[in-house]
Structure 1
């Protein structure tokens, strides 16, 4: 998993509440178990017509936001069914950080397991960040994970809280497999000891 330290990138405003996982990646795209290739279908029903043509008014179709790496979203982002394809689609599109006042628990946990930083902020801070993100080509934010700070284009900053364990995992690029591999020497030692004690096993 890619490490997350300091990210400076374009922030796209998605001022919609209760964005559920079916809006993030509709059910017809869940046939794959690969984590790649889903970005083109991210927010499919909001980005495209039924014929597959882009809807120019959707934020990620606008020239300034086509390469957005940060999403500033409305309350209760990621609600609905517990599909891990939702963070996969965001990451494959290029989104590394989602900022909102609140997230659905399963989506929130899945983000950390896939290298995406979900940040919870107050309603007042979200309003400021949404305003920053609405500046088009000038909508650049810096997300500083070591210092737990978001810096805006005008020099303003917003602090955020984060569980220390989750922060450690993101900074070191550790998903569940990576965490297990940190214990590889202990696992090898246990297996050697078990093999000596129970050679028939």
Structure 2
């Protein structure tokens, strides 16, 4: 069966460098979608601000109400098989399973890429960019990190488990963003191409 489109899933903890990978593929013509966009639409309908905590809480609420893979389920039908995609903000194993199965059923190829960086480096990035809703207290950062990695609520965020499911892992402990961009260009993108090519051969 001919696989018609490619989707790259991107996962990782806060400030790991996911946006750099997304930007690289956006420049190559991929459509970038965030599962958080579903949550943002809900917050907009409720006239609530897009703070990081509200995004987390509302995402957990949607998973409780519609199932752990709900955000992915809502995205899959919107994918155009004539385009390639990057899907960001994957935070639960069921979202990965929904994407793998749903995209395959639509004759697409899926590769999950995890971006990893050390806790201290991620915190330093967080402080330097000072985005609205980001946590600036180191203790609070660690607390949020723990909840996002492995929430005791099974419907909550489980990013550590998502990272463990990755087909490809890329480390981003670089202080210089250009060095990481070079790694994406010279190494990571090639690994992704090979993975998708091998998967296509196995499934055809």
Common topology (TM > 0.5)? no
Q: Give the number of the structure with larger relative contact order, counting CA–CA contacts within 8 Å between residues 6 or more apart.
A: 2
Query: Highest Rg: 1 or 2?
Result: 1
Greater per-residue helix proportion: 2
Per the normalisation by structure 2, the TM-score is 0.30
